[in-house]
Structure 1
Amino acid sequence: MEWLKYHLSDEGKYFNGKQCEISEAEFILFGAPIDSTSTYRAGSREAPPMIRLASLNVETYSFRTEMDALDLKIHDAGDIPQTPNINEALNRISEIVSEIVKMGKKPIMIGGEHTVTYGAVKALKKPIIIFDAHMDLRDEYPYGVKMSHATVSRRITDEIGAENVFIIGVRATCKDEIEYARRVGLKYKTSLEVMENSAKDLMKEIKLNGNDVWISIDMDALDPSIAPGVGNPEPEGISVTKLLDILQWIAMKKKVIGFDLVEVSPPYDNGITSITAAKIILELACMISKWKTKV
């Protein structure tokens, strides 16, 4: 397991302030500090350490699950090395995620830009629920670039099929992306639809093949008044409460095999987005741990 050499050496920097032995862990967390294709506000490479720091300073009891996140069995494996070569980074992520799943553990990946999600999907080839303000369905962006933060959902769709992708929180797109989604049958919900309907009702419309699912949370799905420190903020986003309500229903109804949280860009706020990200990770991990037994 060569990737284990990237462990953090300072125990005080472990996510949630604890380090579970890898043999006993339910979750293996790692950072993917990659933002080499960011085209607006770069800086998401700085997110993993900032979110770890925030995780040490948020309260850990979850009223949603009646669990204390300090009881979670998380092994923090550190960060993959930064590299400007996006394909090299994605291959490394695929190898790590594959190894974690082979060990019978659940991966948690902290980005980095949203492109890193493709590495996990390529390894698992399982359905995915994506929370994102953007469709990310361009075929190229910028011109001639096939693999970037603005094309990641298109490449994921190429990999696993439109029937295995569901995007939640959309409010920023172009006509070509809408036409592509309609042509291939890719399902999505806008942020307006999300805020107007209950999480329970929304779950009735999430139809994916099988029971296993990967979750990807782009923090720009949230309204920028709540999460200003992101690479591409867009007004009229969803609330943290609504996001957690939906995640809770997913965790109750689906077998979540792992998740990622991406696009926090610490240089653009005073730490509030990293704090929110840490809380979301802790809450979702509690949900998965509590409702992990699925038919």
Structure 2
Amino acid sequence: MTSSPNLGALYGAAGTETTFLGLAAAPELSAVTAPMALIGAPGATPYASVGSYCAEGPDALRLATRAFTANLDHHDFDLGGRLFPRPELRAVDCGNLPHQEGQPAANREAIRTAIATLLERGAVPLLMGGDDSVPIPMLEAVNARAAAEGRKLTVLQIDAHIDWRDSHMDETQGLSSTMRRASELSQVERIVQVGARGIGSAGVNDVADALAWGVTFVPGRTFHRIGAAAVLEMIPRGADVVICIDADALDPGILPGVIGRAPGGLSYGDVCDLIEGVAARGRIRAMDFVEFMPERDVDGIGALTFARIIMTSMGVIARAVDAG
């Protein structure tokens, strides 16, 4: 045999699906009625030294789900039943936002507007990046909505890096500053950051600033010692939570398609336990999945792993909506 067997064909998938999991396309955001909506953002504010290096991430993750498109109603053992318990709980795929290289302000505004529209429609936004500058305008939109409704927010970041630089390469809106910018938002009262390890862009002063603000850090080695249950105790019951997931939080052995590989990362099960636990304790208001770089992937294993995390997130949110 000279080529890999087509698993999708074996399952009955047509192999021509272009949306994530073959879900219904919803290009008109103002008409979304689904409980959650996936939307791709190829980038926001890239550094000039690397450009929009994760721009192909959203479509690569969609492609990774083609094998499962004929099996949405089969039993998912990670969720204990169908991915979506009822058809009306299915997510929709809103496609990719327009992306203009060299126009970061326009990119950020497109993301802010899209997330604000989905929140207004009552959908949980699932933002698929793109580099880790993409969450900044998403968080701004969620914050504005929370302020209008008089709610406070908890941010759970799952990432190998803490992203607390005030500025890097004369840019304050880049991927190294995401959590610093989150800390400045009016409704963000708690930030829990899980998975940091190795050497990243953070300086000693950045860590000190984060701790002074009140961040709770759970480095990768600490997480492996205390587990997800202990981390979830740091999330207040009844909290409104935004979950920010960087692909490099996971171990490169199962998700190699990232720019900054570091040993000692979380497993697929670890991340799923955190997502499921947050939904049990509070309410997931928005999620992002960023920093997947298909050009660095190995045999599609990273795309499969990250796509499965998105799928599991959809199932968890669907169950939370179903439970009321």
Which TM bucket (shorter chain)?
Answer: 0.7 to 0.9
Tell me how far apart the structure 2 counterparts of residues 276 and 248 of structure 1 sit (CA, whole Å).
17
Identify the match of residue 246 of structure 2 among 212, 218, 225.
218
Aligned identity (percent) is: 25
Out of 256, 267, 277, the position equivalent to 1:228 is 256
Deviation at 1:42, TM superposition (A): 5.4
Query: Which one of 242, 267, 290 corresponds to residue 239 of structure 1?
Result: 267
For residue 35 of structure 1, report the CA deviation from its aligned partner.
6.2
Counterpart position of 2:81: 67
Name the counterpart of 2:19.
Answer: 14
Instruction: Give the corresponding residue for 1:31.
Output: 40
What residue number does 1:264 align with?
A: 292
Are residues 1:175 and 2:201 paired? no
What SS does the corresponding residue of 2:292 show, helix, strand or coil? Answer: coil
Aligned twin of 2:93: 76
TM-score by length of 2: 0.80
**Unpaired segments of 5 or more residues in structure 2?**
1-15, 144-152
Change (3 A) 1:211 1:106: same
1:229-267: CA deviation from partner (whole Å, max 9, x where unpaired): 112222221111111111111111111122110000000
Larger radius of gyration: 2
Query: In the TM superposition, what is the alpha-carbon distance from 1:82 to its structure 2 partner?
Result: 1.5
Secondary structure at the aligned position of 1:188 is classed as strand
- Write out per-residue CA displacement over residues 140-160 of structure 1, whole angstroms, 9 at most, x where no aligned residue: 112x21111111111111124
Amino acid corresponding to residue 30 of structure 1 in structure 2: I
Would the aligned equivalents of 2:195 and 2:218 in 1 still touch at CA under 8 Å?
yes
Q: Does 1:89 align with 2:107?
A: yes
SS in 1 for 2:259: coil
Residue 206 (structure 1) shift: 2.8
- Separation in 1, partners of 2:158, 2:182: 14
Separation in 1 of the partners of 2:263 and 2:51? 16
Match runs of 1:38-53 below 5 Å: 38=47, 39=49, 43-53=53-63
Change (3 A) 1:155 1:36: closer
Among 165, 168, 188, which residue is 1:141 paired with? 168
Gap change, CA 1:42 and 1:83, over 3 Å in 2 = closer
Aligned counterpart, 1:55: 65
Tell me what 1:127 maps to. 154
My pick for the range that moved more, 285-294 or 180-189, is: 285-294
Q: Does 1:110 pair with 2:115?
A: no
**111, 116, 127: which one pairs with 1:98?**
116
2:315 to 283, 286, 291: 286
Partners in 2 of 1:211 and 1:257 — Cα distance?
Answer: 10
CA separation in 2, counterparts of 1:24 and 1:184?
Answer: 38
Task: Decide whether aligned partners of structure 1 residues 42 and 101 sit closer, same or farther in structure 2, where only a CA change above 3 A counts.
Answer: closer
Q: For residue 164 of structure 1, report the CA deviation from its aligned partner.
A: 2.5
Q: Output the CA distance in 1 between the equivalents of 2:212 and 2:188.
A: 10
Would you say the 8 A contact 2:112–2:138 is kept in 1?
Answer: yes
In the aligned structure 2, how far is the partner of 1:235 from the partner of 1:53? 27
Structure 1: unaligned runs, 5 residues or longer: 1-10
SS at match of 2:56: helix
Q: CA RMSD in A?
A: 2.4
**How high is the TM-score relative to the length of structure 1?**
0.88
Tell me, in whole angstroms, the C-alpha distance in 1 between the residues paired with 2:309 and 2:136.
21
Per-residue CA shift, 1:106-127, capped at 9, x if unaligned? 1111000111101111011133
CA contact (8 A) 1:41 1:230 kept: no
> C-alpha separation between the residues in 2 aligned to 1:76 and 1:262?
16
Instruction: Find the counterpart in structure 2 of residue 8 from structure 1.
Output: none
Question: Offset at 1:205?
Answer: 2.1
Give the distance between the partners of 2:79 and 2:132, measured in 1 at CA. Answer: 28
Question: Residues 147, 69 of structure 1: CA spacing in aligned structure 2 closer, same or farther, 3 A cutoff?
Answer: same
Letter in 1 for 2:294: P
The answer for the alignment partner of 2:219 in structure 1 is 190
Name whichever of 169-178 and 188-197 sits farther off: 169-178
